Structure 1
Amino acid sequence: MMPSFPYRKTLISFAVAMSAAQLHAAGFQLNAQSATGLGRAFAGDAVIGDNASVIARNPAAMSLFDKQQISVGFETITTDIEVKDATYTGPNSSTSVSSNSANTDSVGDTSIAPNFYYVRPVNQKFAWGLNAYSNFGTKTEFEDGYQGYEYGGNTDVKSFNLGLVGSYKVSEALTLGAGLDAIYGKGIFSRPTNPFVNAAYSSDKVLDIDASGWALGWNVGAMYELNSRNRFGIDYHYSPEIEAEGDVYTLTGGKQSDTVKMPLPDIAEFSGYHRLSPSYALHYSIQFIQWSEFDKLEAEKAGVINTYNWQDAWHYSIGGTYYMNEQWELRAGYMYDTSAQDETRSISVPDSDRQWLSAGFTYKPDQMSSIDFGATYLLGEDTDVSESKSALNSSITGTTHANAVLLGLQYSRSF
């Protein structure tokens, strides 16, 4: 008797279900807003305002600009993911099962996240700006022939944020800001079959998905300046639920269309900046990511796809800047990033508490332009996982570990 494979899943649903956290933040959050922020582990990023990229974190900080400015750059994320002490158990015929080692150290991949920002001061009170960047994404690829089969595969999830923001200076000390975000999400996923399943169904994949969707979000922020050397910022980003439509191939259902509702977490941040002397500054941030909103994935046709019950996550970062001279600035930072996952973990989602070690610099070739470089080495922790799929009569156990190297380059110009 052939085994049953009741898969009715699509888009980012399976994206997150199988591989949503391989990059460099809790859950599948993507910190790729700027090379400047990367070089200080994003400490103080909602209030420093050293270039136009600050509007990705806090639109109120546009009051720090007295000229138009553009900023354009990109960040590369290279992951190093290891699955060790792993055993896959699955069917090798219609009546028996076997166990194989499912160790691998070649899961990681490299992703590129571009960004663009424009700030336009209108007068001493009002400013507006445009931004294009990403808040969420992940990319992993298990090698062909991986012995974990349906627990591995390929995943490429991208999101892109297009935003319009404005700020108003209420007083010499207080500025308020707000903005709208159009968020695009796209997911491409494939999962290979166990050899027995392949022979039984003449298919080398459990599923193959390509889907995308748009949603609308918003953000608000405030900045308070004690004086020219000390200021604080706070911001809140509402992340919408994306309804993603697309095609999915399954063993038993063939190709079908569906709409999956994927909740994204709201993000709140508090930052401080203190210019301790003409040469040195201290800055810090606390960020809250409401991953508890990501409790389940539900499709219009398939119903509840999976239950996750993730937990809220936090970032705690501190950094410093050394203003060497008119041309050079050096910066460094440290972040502790807590996991979004609680009891439910996955071989393909090596989410854990993480530590960031960051450094970077700014070079100003003239008074109107700057070039920024940032680098981070991210250290994850060993995490024990155990998964099973009753419909496939399979299971896997093991330990995951994920590190990453992040590099960013950015150019800014005032005019």
Structure 2
Amino acid sequence: MKNNKKYLAVVIPLLISSNANASGFFLPEATYSNLGTAGAGDGVHTDSAAAMFTNPATMSGMGDRLFTGNLSVMDLEMKYSDTQDPSNPIGPNGDANAHEVMPTIGLYYVKQLSDTVHGGIALASQGGMAADYGSDWGAALALNDITLMTLQLNSSVSVQVSEKWSLGGGLQFSYASYEMNATGPSFEQGDDWAVGYNLGALYQHSERLKFGLSYRSAIEHEIDTTTLNSSVDATIGLEIPAIADISMAYSLNSDWDLLASVQWHNWSAWDTTPVSVAGGDASVIRGWEDVWHFALGTEYKLNRDWRLKAGISYETSPQDDPSKQNADLPVGEQWRYSVGASTKVNDYLIDFYYEYADLGSVEVDQSKGPSGNAGYAGYFDGRLHFIGMSVTY
């Protein structure tokens, strides 16, 4: 058991969260309903079936039937600048750059079931990550490459309870897959299914003003895996946090709309990452705080055929203590900037967008390393480019 404890000390700062959307690395772009506005107003949008993912009550405003397909390409780059003393005998020294290009996709379908009831189903990913730093950087003993994928199947129902109010709810079935390789210990690919729920309300105050309120429950995954080095059984806990959203849309006139959203991400519930290796407790202390997300956007009707869009969002940092940051998930405050345009071709609404996400500069100080192993210290600088489109009919 003594060797197992040393093994645990080396591997355990290594887990990435699927909320890789914003907080952490949680990527909501595949679930945007109004592309080009950085997610602002998604909880009240009814021109895209994708809005059901944020707020199921929006389905009541989508007519007889609506289908939306979102497709984006994500270009992620994470740069590591090593700052530890070159004479430090613990671990290698060196900068690194992880660059990955990956697609994201979301499929959404809504159908009116009666005069007051709509049903819908969505298949999308709330987040994921792939990063490969190689084997010659400052944290190589802790991490070479890591892959995390999540996929959510969401079935929902909405009810028009009055002229102004709609209510909705649904079940979300979540799949997660995780794999990590390092110069030191590594984890084989493992996966897990878990279940959560979502609730929402839509209030149409007037023809010009509407509000949405929604909540997605936390989802807890337990991923069973095996270490590559010694074939030891391991279990890794992965949590997608609870998210509450308040959205608003206001029409200044027939051509110009203002959009806003505020979200709360319950990351403080993820105080530790539960990890068990060979039956021993090796949980990682994260010490995260809740995250607040603010988004503002606008839509402008340029002419009969085109609408132009723009948006900006900001997220607070869940962790500002360098000693509690880790190579698997360096997290800080985030800014997103987005532009887009939409047009209608016959019965097809086509949206195009570009978004840039500044993931900030995050200081990491694990220079002593757990139990004298895998020590590293430096800065992570990250950015994301998204380019994509959606088709709704």
> Partner residue of 1:409?
389
SS at match of 2:375: strand
Whole-angstrom CA distance in 2 between matches of 1:84 and 1:258: 31
2:82–2:138 Cα contact (<8 Å) kept: no
- Following superposition, the deviation at residue 259 of structure 1 comes to 3.2
Whole-angstrom CA distance in 1 between matches of 2:359 and 2:243: 22
Post-superposition, which runs of at least 4 consecutive aligned residues in structure 1 deviate over 4 A? 18-24, 88-91
> Partner residue of 1:44?
41
TM-score (norm 1): 0.86
> Partner residue of 1:174?
165
Q: Runs of 5+ in structure 1 lacking a partner?
A: 92-96, 194-205
2:93–2:138 Cα contact (<8 Å) kept: yes
Whole-angstrom CA distance in 1 between matches of 2:91 and 2:218: 42
Say which of 2, 23, 26 aligns to 2:23: 26
> Partner residue of 1:373?
352
Matched, 1:284 2:260: yes
C-alpha RMSD of matched pairs (Å): 2.6
Matched, 1:333 2:311: yes
- Following superposition, the deviation at residue 348 of structure 1 comes to 4.2
Q: How big is each residue's C-alpha offset from its partner over 1:62-118, in whole Å with a ceiling of 9 and x where there is no partner?
A: 111112111112222212222124337798xxxxx26754222x2131222211000
Moved more, 63-72 or 338-347: 338-347
Matched, 1:17 2:14: yes
Q: How big is each residue's C-alpha offset from its partner over 1:155-213, in whole Å with a ceiling of 9 and x where there is no partner?
A: 110100001100001100000000000000001110114xxxxxxxxxxxx22321000
CA 1:51/1:57 → structure 2, altered by over 3 Å: closer, same or farther?
same
CA 1:34/1:262 → structure 2, altered by over 3 Å: closer, same or farther?
closer
Matched AA of 1:393: N
SS at match of 2:50: helix
> Partner residue of 2:95?
103
> Partner residue of 2:243?
267
> Partner residue of 1:359?
339
Say which of 327, 331, 350 aligns to 2:330: 350
Whole-angstrom CA distance in 1 between matches of 2:171 and 2:135: 42
Q: How big is each residue's C-alpha offset from its partner over 1:24-79, in whole Å with a ceiling of 9 and x where there is no partner?
A: 61123121234653410100001022210000100000111112111112222212
> Partner residue of 1:200?
none
- Following superposition, the deviation at residue 383 of structure 1 comes to 2.4
Matched AA of 1:115: G
CA 1:21/1:170 → structure 2, altered by over 3 Å: closer, same or farther?
closer
Whole-angstrom CA distance in 1 between matches of 2:242 and 2:199: 12
Matched, 1:78 2:75: yes
Matched AA of 1:290: N
- Following superposition, the deviation at residue 362 of structure 1 comes to 1.2
SS at match of 2:59: helix
Q: How big is each residue's C-alpha offset from its partner over 1:363-390, in whole Å with a ceiling of 9 and x where there is no partner?
A: 2101x21111121111232222201423
Matched AA of 1:247: T
2:342–2:350 Cα contact (<8 Å) kept: yes
TM-score (norm 2): 0.91
Identity of aligned residues (%): 23
1:264–1:293 Cα contact (<8 Å) kept: no
Matched AA of 2:303: N
